[in-house]
Amino acid sequence: MSPATDDDGPSGIHCRLDELLTERGMTLTRLSELVGVSIVNLSVLKNDRARAIRYSTLAAICRALDCEVGDLLVVQE
């Protein structure tokens, strides 16, 4: 299987959740309260270990952080 389709390997997508939280002075705990997603699941996303994310979760995170999807998720070379 090629790296582009290997679900166990790096996706090439980087989640900037940690940077956005820092810029906004928000904790992961507070974000969890605002979006209704567990701290554990947000931590998986923050540490680039997520394999998938629901659009509804993505939208809720973007609303809470007042950002666009492209601010949160970026392609990493």
What pLDDT digit, counting tens, does each position of 20-69 carry? Answer: 999 999 999 999 999 999 999 999 999 999 999 999 999 999 999 999 99
The pTM assigned to this predicted structure is 0.84
Residue pointed to by tokens 């554990």: 40
Pairing of strands 13-15, 73-75: antiparallel
Is it the case that residue 4 has pLDDT exceeding 60?
no
Q: Classify burial at 34, counting beta carbons within 10 Å of its beta carbon; exposed 0-12, middle 13-18, buried 19 or more.
A: middle
Q: Classify burial at 35, counting beta carbons within 10 Å of its beta carbon; exposed 0-12, middle 13-18, buried 19 or more.
A: buried
Asked whether the beta carbons of 56 and 17 are under 8 A apart, the reply is no
Is it the case that residue 2 has pLDDT exceeding 90?
no
Quickly state the pLDDT bin for 9 (edges 50, 70, 90): low
Q: Which two tokens stand for residue 18?
A: 């940690």
